[in-house]
């Protein structure tokens, strides 16, 4: 990834653009995930946990939109 200095651009704005590119490219999150080895079974277990958590949040949001009523 390269970010070139534009004409009349300050170093601060160049650094800001670089940081935005890093976030947009998900470079740091990828690095953090690959920092340690995670076995396939562990990846599946974590994915299942995330899915359960997401479904629970979705259900709670739906209930709160209905005014707390179930059904």
d(CA 44, CA 47) in angstroms, rounded, equals 5
In this structure, the dihedral spanned by the alpha carbons of residues 43, 41, 60 and 63, taken in order and rounded to 10 degrees, is 120
pLDDT of residue 46: 96
| pLDDT number for residue 71 | 52
Name the residue ranges covered by the structural domains of the chain. 11-65
The reported pTM is 0.54
The answer to whether residue 68 scores a pLDDT higher than 80 is no
Q: What pLDDT was estimated at residue 66?
A: 85
- Amino acid 47: pLDDT: 97
Tokens of 19: 């940081």
For 27-66, the pLDDT digits (tens) are 999 999 899 999 999 999 999 999 999 999 999 999 998 8
């Amino acid at each position: 990834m390269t970010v070139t200095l534009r004409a009349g651009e300050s170093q601060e704005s160049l650094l800001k653009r670089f940081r935005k590119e890093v976030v947009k490219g998900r470079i740091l999150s990828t690095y953090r995930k690959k920092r340690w080895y995670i076995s396939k079974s562990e990846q599946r277990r974590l994915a299942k946990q995330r899915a359960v958590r997401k479904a629970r949040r979705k259900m709670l949001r739906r209930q709160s939109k209905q005014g707390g009523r179930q059904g």
